Amino acid sequence: MQKNSKYPFADMNIVVTGAGGGIGQDLVRAMSSLGATIWACDLKKSSMVSLKNLTNVKICELDVRVESSWMKLLKEFSSSKNRILNGLVQSAGVLKPGYIANIDTKDIDYHIDINVKGLILGSTLASRIMKQQKSGHIVNIASLAGLAPIPGIALYSTSKFAVRGFSLALAQEMKEFDVSVTVVCPDAVKTSMLDNQVGYEETALTFSGTQLEPRDVTSAIIESFGNKKLEIILPFHRGVLGKIGNSFPGLSSFLIKKLKEKGMRKQMEFQKAKD
């Protein structure tokens, strides 16, 4: 991606979580190519080896679940030459398939600690800095599973409902300080998270719609720094379907049955293409 004056990325500092792969790593590559200095964060530096030689990319270890880990990152950031925190993009997330009656109870903490607590910690600490600056942009990645409850991945769906609700509320709180918040709700994305759902009957609904490429989400996030949209749904028509289903729970049971049948067929096709 070439530098484009449409988006003010030159000389910007942006923290990206979940940079070890998928959307996060694609975003680091794209934004750094546009001139931004990226603080690429993940649990282990070893997952970000492929980013080491990129210009304007700083590799940082971060456990999003731990406040002291965030504080260490932000202390390092504040000691850098340019102390303006222009953006925080939170793409770190996990998903383990399973019907609730069958899950390990440890999976509850796993989803909530990383997908929700970690994101809220990051948003809280970043918002304090941005409030003082009176500028900045926080982008939180939720999911279409945060628009309509998805059986089979109920823990993930719950966590993404929380991300969406929190982000929409935070946006209203930060508006008076000229800080923007965007929540992104994509359909399934072709990352390792989607690969890990292959072969599970519980995740059939995940495959019922559009399988996006990471660059589709990256492009939308990059555009959000220019248009300051509050919510981005990818693709839009699936989001409308999800919101309708969520508004009318009785109708959603009918939709889910049809979509699950479609998803099981598409899951098998996806698996064959991988083999």
Q: What CATH number is attached to the domain comprising 26?
A: 3.40.50.720
- Please tell me the predicted confidence (pLDDT) of residue 270: 85
Q: What is the pLDDT of residues 110-130, one digit of tens each?
A: 999 999 999 999 999 999 999
pLDDT surpassing 70 at residue 67: yes
pTM: 0.92
Q: What is the mean pLDDT of residues 143-161?
A: 95
Residue 143 has pLDDT above 90, yes or no: yes
> Which of 169, 206, 66 minimizes the C-alpha distance to 161?
169
Count of structural domains, the chain: 1
> What is the torsion angle, in degrees rounded to the nearest 10, for the CA atoms of residue 17, residue 18, residue 23 and residue 25?
90
What CA–CA distance (Å, rounded) separates 179 from 108? 32
**Does residue 3 sit within a domain?**
no
The answer to whether residues 142 and 93 touch, using CB atoms and an 8 Å cutoff, is no
Better pLDDT: 7 or 114: 114
Range of the domain at 143: 13-192+210-237
Nearest residue to 36 (alpha-carbon basis) of 56, 17, 53, 21: 56
First to last CA, the chain: 31
Confidence of residue 82 (pLDDT cuts 50, 70, 90): low
Report if residue 164 sits inside a domain.
yes
Indicate whether 21 belongs to any domain. Answer: yes
- For tokens 């929700």, name the residue: 116
Q: Which of 57-71, 82-96, 200-214, 218-232 has the lowest mean pLDDT?
A: 200-214
* Predicted confidence (pLDDT) per residue in 160-177, tens digit: 999 999 999 999 999 999
**Within-domain flag for 230:** yes
248 in a structural domain: no
Residue 152 within any structural domain of the chain: yes
Task: Work out the average pLDDT over 92-114.
Answer: 97
Phi/psi class of residue 228: alpha, beta or left (left: φ > 0; alpha: ψ in -120 to 50)?
left
Q: Cβ distance 60 to 38 under 8 Å?
A: no
Q: 97 in a domain, yes or no?
A: yes
What φ, ψ does residue 76 adopt, rounded to 5°? -65, -40
DSSP 3-state of 61: strand
Which pLDDT band, with edges at 50, 70 and 90, does 2 fall under? Answer: very low
* 189 DSSP assignment: B
Residue at 256 is within a domain: no
